Amino acid sequence: MRTVREAGEADAADIAALERIIFPDPWTENGIRETVRSGRAAVTGAWSGRELIGYAILYTVLDEGEIARIAVASSYRRQGVAGLLFGQVLKICGDRGIVRLMLEVRESNASAVSFYEKCGFTMDGVRKGYYSNPREDAILMSLHVPEGRAL
């Protein structure tokens, strides 16, 4: 059974473990703990039983949000987990009065770009050389969050 809920400091080690597997530039466990404690972020996790299978990190300031991460373990991709996480992000946006979501995504991450486009994001531009390890451009995307939006 899959569940989606707020992730806390106790989940930081599991999130960091997935970070190391998924990203070439992983966040540290301590960095994740600090993010959870910051009060500016909402961290959501998806579990299959007791196993963390994905997570989303959303930063909010006033009426804008930035998706810092949506990540899903490789064995659970293309099974709707990212959609569940994004649905929770939209709920948080509604709760916090967020009307615009932004994100950066690696230019080579075609599956993520496609996912975000299906969610209604549009491309705003390119940030040259934004990523390192390996050096790569970032595609800037945004979404106006209508009231009551559901995925």
Query: What is d(CA 123, CA 41) in angstroms, rounded to the nearest whole number?
Result: 24
Q: Which of 116, 117, 131, 147 is catalytic?
A: 116
For residue 1, the model assigns a pLDDT of 77
Report the percentage of the chain scoring pLDDT > 70: 97
| The architecture CATH gives domain 2-102 | 3-Layer(aba) Sandwich (3.40)
> Is 104 designated active site?
yes
For residue 52, the model assigns a pLDDT of 97
For residue 134, the model assigns a pLDDT of 85
Q: Within 13 Å, how many C-alpha atoms sit on residue 20's CB side?
A: 8
Residue 122 has pLDDT above 60, yes or no: yes
Q: 127: closest CA among 112, 141, 137? A: 137
- Tens digit of each residue's pLDDT (9 = 90 or more) over 9-67: 999 999 999 999 998 889 999 999 999 999 889 999 999 999 999 999 999 999 999 99
For residue 24, the model assigns a pLDDT of 86
For residue 151, the model assigns a pLDDT of 46
- Tens digit of each residue's pLDDT (9 = 90 or more) over 79-90: 999 999 999 999
Query: What is d(CA 98, CA 95) in angstroms, rounded to the nearest whole number?
Result: 8
Q: Which of 19, 55, 104, 131 is catalytic?
A: 104
